[in-house]
Amino acid sequence: MTKKVISEAEAMASLRSIADALGVPLDYVVKFHRHGDGGAWVEFKDGAAHYLIGEREKVWTTVYTDLDEFLYRVTFDAASNLGSTWELNNRTREPEEFDTRIAWLAKQLQLMNRVNPVWGARFRDTIAAGDHCDGVRVEDVDAYPLG
């Protein structure tokens, strides 16, 4: 079995493409050094992408040697952040009892589909399986009018 290796140059080209598809700067999609807000950053070493998340004194690391899995994770996180911001900015258009997580997930799904329809379908499957936001139905996410 051949070990997979992530080329930093290929990963960077793909990350720039993701940022372009989402309409945001590259440093919104991923950072390349630890920063003060407790977020994630990436380090490339030994043919792998190390996805680190720091909070206070702790750092959690996931090591990716599969480029597609790494890019899915980065896209998932960026689209989630964008979806959350979009939902918050559009919250007043819904009735008070509306579950705002539906709008958030709908926007995240739309963005994931924009970047890669295969990743969008994968994310949608996780919503359908109940892996996100207990009690949110995929039918409601699919039906949400993003406009």
CA separation (Å) from 50 to 63, 67, 77, 85?
Answer: 5, 11, 15, 26
Rounded CA gap, 123 and 142, in Å? 12
- pLDDT for the residue 76: 97
Mean pLDDT of the chain: 92
Which residue type does 27 have? D
pLDDT in tens, 22-57: 999 999 999 999 887 678 999 999 999 999 998 888
- Residue 1's pLDDT band (boundaries 50, 70, 90)? low
Q: What are 54's strand-pairing partners?
A: 59
Torsion of CA 23, 26, 31, 33, to 10 degrees: -160
